[in-house]
Chain A
Amino acid sequence: MTQQTVKVKKNIVDEGIEAGLARLTPERIESVIQRVLNREAGARLKTYARTCVHCGLCSDACHHFVSMNRDPKLSPAGKVKRTIGVMMQKKGKVSKDFIREAAMVAYSECNLCKKCVLYCPFGIDVGYLMTLVRRICHLLGVVPRYMQDTAHSQSVHFNQMWINGDEWVDTLFWQEEEARDEAPDIRIPVDKEGSDIFYSVIGPEPKFRAQLIYQAAMIFEAAGSDWTMPGSPGWDNSDLCMFSGDNEMMGRNKRAHFEAAAKLRVKKIVMGECGHAFRSVYDVGNRWLGFKMPPIPVIHAVEFYHDLVCNGKIRILKKFAQPITLHDPCNIARGMGLYEKARELAHALCETVVEMTPNREHNICCNAGGGIINCGPPFKDKRVEANSVKAKQLFDAKAMGAEVVIAPCHNCHGGLEDIIHHYGVEMELKFFGDIIYEVMEKPE
């Protein structure tokens, strides 16, 4: 059985990558690589390449390496050696087969989670280097098909799920109607100018998890918040273009999002429970647009809920009884240091919190992040198998009594769900929103 799965893994063929490769010429490969190495990348690439002492101390940071029998090719520095290292050495004169391999490494063997930064004595950021490889692959047109599809959707609709303008507003009205059964006066205010809060979500919420919007509305109502959601594009804060290497389109997405908020003259943007969307708005997209910090304050759901719950703005009737464990999403742990707030929030909401170790900024990634889950079905087995350490962590938490995993990130949900399923962990997954909705005093 194991042999079979190994075989599947070795034979991943991605239509998007193959179609892109078919169009490439050696000249094109060379000129694109030269362009990125010499014009787009600068100090960090060159200094990192020069500084790395080949000590291998970064290896243990990476869940791919640890999960896959400590395969040296999967250590952070090993991945650099297999991709951009060779590109630099050969000055872009590399083959199509090499590009296929590089795309596989960059898109499916690194989550850009930046944990290796905490292990390398020099703080070499392999996540950044893999972003550069993805940038090159994007410019070469060699991108996994499923990921490119979401990027296409963003360039047509500014959301990743091919949702049309009227479908979006319909969904909001539908959820408002549903919520009215429970709280007759509740509203989901669309395009309400001058609100305190601009609430934005990711594309999959209206598509697959519309009840999350309902729950959020109930939470806002209970807290008496002055909030709104935009009726036109800009409502989706996610960004797969950031992960495919399409920086230009990433910038357009972020501009649409910031402009939607600016048009409504809101005080701040509150985002749903998603890690990569937060990274795109707070860390990457804003920089591409030339904003050192987001032009409108951006607050992740964990921070927002922490304020509501810990400062008594909503009342908790009875704490959540089942023991929970908390998964730290990289993008808000290493990306925003929200690990302490997430814990305070968990303790305020739940009776028993079991810790997984390592945790906080040393968390183990779910292996869905960095867009790997968005590379779709061809990569699923590989993704799940390359994270047996997370499965072990979950089993350990379960052995200590945890029954529910809270993961305040959509990608993590997807990734952990697959891990729980594949390894038979049998734990339930929840968002903080689910728990708050369950234990709070509901508006009437």
Chain B
Amino acid sequence: MTLQTLYTIIAGPLAVLAITGFVLGCVYRIVMAVRQTASDRMVIEYFHPRYALRSILRWLTPYSTVNMRRHPIMTLVTFVFHLGMVVMPFFIFAHMLMVYEAFGLSWPTLPDVFVEWMSWAVLLALVFFLGRRLILPEVRYLTTLSDYLILLLIALPFFTGIWAYKGWWAAEWVTLLHMLSGEILLLAIPFTRLGHMVLFFMTRGYMGSEFGGIRHARDW
């Protein structure tokens, strides 16, 4: 198979598959969680939009909770990592260009140098997380094989992304690998622990409602 055909498959049907799988998977997660409230009525009964939002925003703001301040480095790393992983990919020129070529949509993007540094930061963050898992006894005790695999799964698209951008050895092939690993990661989100990306809003929202609406106490 030539590079060109592989590219057409990975950038075409596979990309469509990954994105639809991701979206449908997330919807499925949310629907399932809501359906399971049938035997856990309280979650719906006590849900309180204002308090839910209050808690969610609080926990999305760096250093605004007691525990975030107790672990200043972990907090810094976590926020940089999540920004790099969740937000940044939308603002990469090459990514935008693909959407532009397919649908004619365009938007402002970040300078490539910045993207490169952020990608390194994401990789460093992964090393930091790996270190925590290996060194801190309380984290090591909880860690399972899948937790390590997830770190690897996230590392791949970032590492290959830098590689391709730098134009190192066999960059065309690595570009394919980059796209492929990105697609796998996207598809994995709803079906692994990475699903916390959507479930965070539900669990935190529920606790925010309970604490704000009934317990009249802060939950941070």
Contacts and interface: CB of A to CB of B under 8 A. Distances in A.
Interface of A: 39-48, 50-57, 59-61, 65, 70, 72-73, 75, 77-78, 81, 117-119, 121-125, 283, 287, 292, 333-337, 339, 358, 361-362
Contacts of B71: 57
B91 interface: no
B201 to A, nearest CB: 10
A47 B59 contact: no
14 contacts: A39-B39, A40-B39, A42-B39, A51-B203, A52-B193, A53-B193, A54-B143, A57-B71, A72-B141, A75-B141, A117-B211, A118-B67, A121-B59, A122-B204
Interface string B36-47: 111110110110
Given A51-B195, A54-B142, A54-B144, A292 B45 contact: yes
A122 B208 CA distance: 10
A73 B141 contact: yes
Which 4 pairs across A and B sit closest by C-beta, in order of nearness?
A: A123-B207, A42-B40, A337-B216, A72-B141
A51 B217 contact: no
Interface string B110-131: 0000000000000000000000
A241 B137 CA distance: 36
A122 B32 CA distance: 18
Contacts of B95: none
Contacts of A292: 45-46
B137 A72 contact: yes
A118 B220 CA distance: 5
B215 A123 contact: no
A335 B204 contact: no
B141 A78 contact: yes
B157 to A, nearest CB: 19
B208 A123 contact: yes
B105 to A, nearest CB: 33
Contacts of A339: 217
Given A54-B147, A122-B199, A125-B207, A72 B66 contact: no
B151 to A, nearest CB: 11
A43 B138 contact: no
B50 interface: no
A29 to B, nearest CB: 21
B185 to A, nearest CB: 16
A43 B44 CA distance: 10
B217 A78 contact: no
B138 A59 contact: yes
B136 A56 contact: yes
Contacts of A123: 55, 59, 203-204, 206-208, 219
Contacts of B141: 56, 72-73, 75, 78, 81
B203 A48 contact: yes
Given A57-B67, A72-B140, A118-B66, A287 B200 contact: no
Given A44-B43, A47-B203, A335-B217, A362 B143 contact: no
B139 interface: yes
Given A47-B33, A118-B67, A78 B43 contact: no
A53 B195 CA distance: 10
A337 B211 CA distance: 9
B193 to A, nearest CB: 5
Contacts of B34: 43
A364 to B, nearest CB: 13
A124 B203 contact: yes
A50 B217 CA distance: 26
A70 B137 contact: yes
A303 to B, nearest CB: 11
A362 B132 CA distance: 25
A55 B139 contact: yes
B138 A72 contact: yes
A114 to B, nearest CB: 9
B188 interface: no
Contact of B199 (A47, A59, A358): A47
Contact of A77 (B142, B196, B216): B142
Given A60-B67, A123-B204, 10 more contacts: A43-B39, A46-B32, A47-B202, A50-B199, A54-B144, A57-B67, A122-B203, A125-B207, A292-B46, A339-B217
A287 B140 CA distance: 38
Nearest to B205: A123
A40 B41 CA distance: 11
Nearest to B71: A57
B166 interface: no
B219 A118 contact: yes
Contact of A122 (B70, B137, B138, B200): B200
Nearest to A39: B39
A42 B143 contact: no
B137 A46 contact: no
